[in-house]
Every structure is written in C-alpha cells, then in structure tokens.
Amino acid sequence: MSAAISIDGVSKRYPGGVLAVDRWSLEIADGEFVAIAGPSGCGKTTLLNAIAGFDDITAGSIAVGGSTIAAPGLRPQPSPQRAVVFQRNALLPWKTVAQNVAFGLAMQGREHPLRSMYRAKELLAHVGLSDTAGEYPERLSSGTLRRIEFVRALANDPPLLLLDEPFRALDTVTKTSMHEYLAHLLEQRRRTVLLVTHDIDEAILLADRVVVSTARPASVKSVFDIRLPRPRRAGITLRPEFAHYRDAILELVEAEARHAFESGDLERV
C-alpha cells in the first residue's frame, strides 16, 4: 500500500529551547490504523498537531497523500481532509447537535446551509443519534458527546482521522462502548487513522501497528505489528496473545516513564 502519511526526520523545538520531538520518522499506509503510545508529556500530541496543521516543525518534513504539509518555514495549515477529534469536548455549546455537525459542512462553502443541515440529520440518523439532533451539548452524556464528535469529524468524509486521546476522560464501560462504536464506523469505510494514547489496551485493541515513543523528546523506540483478528471486541483482551503484546509494550513504556521521572522531565507538551 502507498504511504498516506510520511514523517521524515521530524523535530520540533519550542521557543526557549525545549525539544519536544527529535528526528521522528514513520510511514503510515493508506487505510492503516496506527497508535502512538508513550508516557504522558513525551511529545505525542506535538507530533499529531504538526500533522493536523496546528503547529510548525523545526526540522524534517511531513507529507500527506504525497504532498508536503509541514517543513521548516512552511506555515501550518489545517485541512478538512485531516479531521481531528480532541481530548476534550469541542462542540459549540450554543449550537444544537445537528447545527454542530452541519457547521463543518457549511464552512466548506460547497453546500447551502439548509443542505448541510439536512445531511447532518441524515448522518446522525445513520448512527442512531436522531433523537439528539435538536439537543444542546450540555444536556447530553459524555459518551454521547464523543459519538457526536466522531460524526462531526467524519461528516466531510476525510481520508485521514487524527485522534488525540479522545477517550481519556471516559469511564471504563463507556470507553469500551466507544471503542466498538469507532470500530463500527471504520468497518463502514476504511480510513487512515492516527491515534495518540497512553492507554496500552486501547492501542492494541484498535490499531494495526502500535508505535512506542521514547520519553521527551519523542522519537520512535519500537514498533509492534498487532496480528490479532478483526473485528476485535472487548473479550479479546483476555486472550494470551493480547497479554503478550500488553506486557511487551508496557515494559517499554514504563522504562521510558521511569527515565522521564528520574531526569525530572515531567512537563506536559
């Protein structure tokens, strides 16, 4: 398969001298689901922000679909072709659910606002969320809000989905449901997905490959091909093969976390 994302020797140094990412290189194939796991504050989100077009880089390059989207001196530029789901709820509280989903469609300027609203309601109905269309975010549960954010992110049918620990604040039961919900969405249409997470079980459950990051500055420490059958449900976490991946990845992540603790480098980037 061709590379959907090509990360070539990327480094990011912030003003003041903090090196967050150091010579990161990785290729992600079209339609592949890759998870980056590592200690908190190691620089995972910094890398994802550069791919999303929210931040610049100081060395190397990032190409998406064969086109360079990040390099030294190149102005960061977000794109609807690179949809992002964030850690925290990013829905607009003064808009209804349907208006939130339609907002991204209307911002593209390719459709009349009424057509965007019609499509938004269609999308919500397709995933069983019709009853939320007229509600405001504050009236809905955290799990429902997460589902809606995925609908909004996928409304423009982007080929690339970037996930910044989107399930971090959820309880265990809701998180399990959300994992299955995301898997269902991706079964309907395969996309290239990059997930940043500190949850090792989550990374193994969802990804085709898990990349373990070093402590800050982030660089590739190890890559695991996850050879577990799909579809993967919560019960797969009890299988010996799953435990093998968990133990191996956890050992590396804990070693990097100890290194960060001993060096006193605990600042979150």
* CATH no. of 3-81+160-263: 3.40.50.300
pTM listed for this prediction: 0.90
Spatial CB neighbours of 136, under 8 Å, sequence gap ≥ 6: 93, 94, 95, 96, 97
Angle 129-159-48 from CA coordinates, rounded to 5°: 95
What residue spans define the domains of the chain? 3-81+160-263, 88-157
- State the Cα angle at 125 between 169 and 148, rounded to 5°: 20
How confident is the prediction along the chain (269 residues), in pLDDT tens digits per residue? 567 999 999 999 998 889 999 999 999 999 999 999 988 788 899 999 999 999 999 999 999 999 999 999 999 999 888 999 988 888 899 999 999 998 877 666 556 677 888 888 988 988 889 999 999 999 999 889 988 988 888 888 889 999 999 888 788 888 888 898 888 888 888 899 999 998 999 999 999 999 999 988 999 999 999 999 988 888 899 999 999 999 999 999 999 888 777 766 654 43
Asked whether 61 and 71 are in contact (CB, 8 A), the reply is yes
